[in-house]
Structure 1
Amino acid sequence: MTTFVCRRWFQFCSRQYNRTSNKLYKETLRSVSTKPSIPHVCIVGSGPAGFYTAQQLLKHHKTVHVDIYDKLPVPFGLVRFGVAPDHPEVKNCINQFTKTAKNDRFAFIGNVTVGKDITVKKLKKSYDAIIMCYGADDDRILGIPGENLHGVLSARSFVGWYNGLPEDRNLDVNLNCDTAVVIGHGNVAIDVCRILLTPVSILKRTDITQHSLEVLENSQIKRVYMVGRRGPLQVAFTIKEIREMTKLPGCRSVLDPHLFKNLSEQVSGLPRPRKRLTELMIKTALDTPSEAEVDAEWRVKFLRSPIEIIPSNDGKQVAGIKLRVNRLEGTGESAKAIPTDEVEEIPCGMVLRSIGYKSIPIDDSVPFDNNQGIIPNIGGRVTGMKGIYCSGWVRRGPTGVILSTMSDGFEIGKLVADDLNSADIDISNETVKGKDKVLDDLDKDGVVPVMFADWERIDELEKTRGVSIGKPREKFTTVEDMLEAAFD
């Protein structure tokens, strides 16, 4: 009897064990089969477009991993290398970007050039989606005689020179003349004018590079013309920038009062930002201080188009610029500059071209519109390429400020997150592992990636270097120095 009871008890326990084991096994299988795949997204470019896109992607998708690649060892792109050194408040967005970089699902991978060190085709094997967020690395040219003379520079390169962009470190900047001409009526053009005319005592307290500070300290420039092809109601600069120029110590702003006397009647019907800007220009034009009160001046020339840069006697150096006088046809933003027969010349020793920029193709596998300087896309989705997107200047052209880039980044970040959440992008491929395989391949090819922790070492060293000379930071301006600081 005892044996029978024991046998029955053993059978009962065995059945219970088998049921439990089978249940656990089925639950494990169910868990494995329904466990969501972790999507991996690659962003090319660590400027505002890249970071704002990453921020929104991480916000709207709870498991996605985002890796940002940049060709330089340091992040933040235009914020670091494009924002004027005397505008530190504009760089505060770096704090927000750093917070994004600290997310466990994010990685910064610098010193890696997509299209050269790693192709988009290879990236597609490691990522479910790729977002092109690189900026505009080329200039629009004037296309006039004399543009290749010594003393003609790109405003973009000049900005890179004083902001520490490695490729512009050795730009040949000669300020041994009294007059410079800046072609363009945008914010970058005003930035360039302001840096040329700001007392060095002020610039010394910014993060402007030491090598450019030394050149500016010996500058002979006392007069800067800013030339634009259309009129006061079509300028692209904003009120903040012109207000700064009107308050620049020892410098007067000169705008032709004849162009502004009749504008008061048109001001009331303008949109508020344009209205305030125009009112300030009218006030500035009619209240210009005398030359005896100042050491330098900034002159704004309207309705002028450059037609030739005049060479010096030896044919090598800039000696002046020839301008065609225009008249306006139409009104408002759509007004067109129509050339007249009238021509004038301005003697000068330096010409800075600030008429716009354009992106360039970085990989043959990604379509590119060379005329517009953008990647062809429909709402941010790259034409004809599933899972490839674009954001920022390479999507819509180099227009707007950081705020407009933020809006674009938010839009595309949410778009990609929605595509991932709706399964519009297939994330079931288990071979997609994100940066791990890429880093292995880069290591085999001898490429040394810089991670965000490495950038933080560069950051601390730059700040320390700055403190020693009374500046917020002194940037490393060569890739070699950046890498040495990162891995010292």
Structure 2
Amino acid sequence: MRQIAIVGSGPAGYYTAEAAVKKWGDEARIDVFDKLPVPFGLIRTGVAPDHQSIKAVSRRYEKTAIGDTVRFVGNVEVGPDISIEELRELYDAVILATGAPKDRELRIDGADAKNVIGSAAFVGWYNGHPEFAALDPALDGRHAVVIGMGNVALDVARILSKTQAEFEGSDIVAHALDALRASRIETVTILGRRGPHQIMMTPKELGELMHLERASPHVDAADLPPVDDDAILEPGLRKSVTLLRDFAAIPEHLHGEKPVALEFDFFASPKAIESTDGAISAVVVERTTVEAGRAVSTGETYRVPADLLISCIGYQTSPIEGVPFDERAGRFANDEGRILPGLYCVGWAKRGPSGTIGTNRPDGYNVIDVVEQDIGAGARKEGREGFDALAQSRDLNVVTFRDWQKIEEAEIAAARDGAPREKFVDVEAMIAALGK
């Protein structure tokens, strides 16, 4: 019997568990650990609350999670509750699927000012992640700046711009909905160091901006390259750039009909943050040009007013004591998923924050192939029984998948009209819902 521990219950974790079941069937026992009492990782706390169709992929993971072969081990944190070394002693293979939950640092002068927030924190706030539920971002100013040219930046800009009615059907948490309802933001400036041909935004997410009730996207036509240059782009990016051209063609008088402006500021590299009484007041931006795909400084600077700044410049994996870490890449040091004997990684923890949710599926299947090469028939270690004994000796309050389903039932029961659920935003409330 192969004994496998997967640390992290997001897409990478459950795709890996699915691969293990398909590879070994009943000849394996797979424990999926998570420090939260709830599973699914970024599906729950990273995907935008108004993208319910994407969140629905969790139903696939439920098929893997129910049964004896795969077990959810929630409310157990690697480090405080059990060490990596202890997991390696108990299981034939330990696979880290912890994702990249930490913001890349915004390394410019003044970045420590109040109301400068990383996207992991801001997205966690409106998605009800317990670590960020008390964030309380400043929405009482007129100007927000979003740094980044990927879909996370679009998510943030869109969430900042929507009306309460437009959140119908979403699972945005109540504290965020209340704060956004009272928001006074009039301008959301989206800063990107390079130009339209270098964006990482996909057509679906860009297209949503055309249909916002109270916000209108603005693009300066002068920032767009000649239309014939679009022919060299891959099809998805070409569609995205075509949408930017559509934004630029919106007549000025139509912009005035909506109270919120979404300003795309290309060739704009943030250089410093100005503050007043410790809180951000403006971003100093340097104009760039693009040479061979890289942003090159021009020396020309200007100021963009900002009462709030959300940095969407990428994520990093959180280091774990005893696990080799690649600081430059922001992920675990690995060779095709191998870290140390019996220790592996998968998903963003392996390759960095790239690709879609579905990209994690082949990644999960590949790492299980690697594990099989290394451990063969397995059946060497205590695995699940050994962990259960340890958990009992340490009085760990382990949350199972059946427990999670009770938490989910309570969230669904508490939902406001039109919403699929009202998430618990602290661990204590989740545990209280179980009566444990």
Q: TM-score, normalised by structure 2?
A: 0.96
Whether the 8 Å CA contact 1:57–1:416 is kept in 2: the answer is: no
Question: Of 318, 322, 326, which aligns to 2:284?
Answer: 322
Question: Of 38, 53, 57, which aligns to 1:74?
Answer: 38
Question: Of 334, 340, 347, which aligns to 1:377?
Answer: 334
Offset, 1:172: 2.6
Whether the 8 Å CA contact 1:252–1:289 is kept in 2: the answer is: no
Deviations 1:439-471 (A, max 9, x none): 2212221221101111010010000001x5442
Q: Is residue 247 of structure 2 the alignment partner of residue 284 of structure 1?
A: yes
* Aligned length, in residue pairs: 434
Offset, 1:405: 2.1
Q: Residue type of the partner of 1:374?
A: R
- Structure index of larger Rg: 1
Offset, 1:269: 2.3
Whether the 8 Å CA contact 1:136–1:357 is kept in 2: the answer is: yes
Offset, 1:289: 4.7
Task: Give the structure 2 partner of residue 135 of structure 1.
Answer: 99
Whether the 8 Å CA contact 1:225–1:298 is kept in 2: the answer is: yes
Per the alignment, do residues 487 and 433 of structure 1 end up closer, same or farther by CA in structure 2, a change over 3 Å counting?
farther
* 1:69-468 map, 5 Å: 69-260=33-224, 262-290=225-253, 291-312=255-276, 315-330=277-292, 335-364=293-322, 366-382=323-339, 385-417=340-372, 419-420=374-375, 423=376, 427-429=378-380, 432-466=381-415, 468=416
Where do 5+ consecutive residues of structure 2 fail to align? none
Q: TM-score, normalised by structure 1?
A: 0.86
Offset, 1:348: 1.8
Measure, in 1, the Cα distance between the counterparts of 2:341 and 2:112: 42
Per the alignment, do residues 145 and 60 of structure 1 end up closer, same or farther by CA in structure 2, a change over 3 Å counting?
same
Offset, 1:371: 2.1
Offset, 1:363: 2.6
Offset, 1:272: 1.3
Q: Is residue 2 of structure 2 the alignment partner of residue 44 of structure 1?
A: no
Q: Secondary structure at the match of 2:4?
A: strand
Deviations 1:372-425 (A, max 9, x none): 11111111111xx222111011101112221222232232234334545xx2xx
Amino-acid identity (%): 37
Whether the 8 Å CA contact 2:171–2:420 is kept in 1: the answer is: yes
Measure, in 1, the Cα distance between the counterparts of 2:199 and 2:251: 20
Deviations 1:130-174 (A, max 9, x none): 111001122112222221111111111000001010000110311
Q: Identify which range, 135-144 or 406-415, moves more after superposition.
A: 406-415
Q: Residue type of the partner of 1:318?
A: I
* Aligned-pair Cα RMSD in Å: 1.5
Measure, in 2, the Cα distance between the counterparts of 1:459 and 1:228: 39
Deviations 1:54-108 (A, max 9, x none): 1011101131111100010000000000000100000111110000001321100
Q: Which has the larger helix fraction?
A: 1
Offset, 1:204: 4.5
Offset, 1:487: 3.2
Whether the 8 Å CA contact 1:114–1:363 is kept in 2: the answer is: no
Q: Residue type of the partner of 2:308?
A: M
